[in-house]
Amino acid sequence: METITIPKVQFERMKEQIELFSNIKIYKRLLQFEQNISKKKYTRKDLGF
């Protein structure tokens, strides 16, 4: 694993964005979707491709 360095201002902005996203309903739904699909193996056909 690599270590990277970013400016503190950019880091603070990223933290604010994470806090903002964590309170948005669609983001919570996306996390729930990711958890659901990680439990089962899906084929391309299942996903409509």
pTM score over 0.85: no
Provide long-range contacts, Cβ within 8 A and 24+ apart, for 25-30.
none
Q: Which pLDDT does position 27 carry in this prediction?
A: 84
pLDDT in tens, 4-41: 899 999 999 999 988 888 888 888 888 888 888 888 77
Radius of gyration of the chain (CA): 16
Give the model's pLDDT for residue 45. Answer: 79
Q: Please report the pLDDT score of residue 9 as a whole number.
A: 96
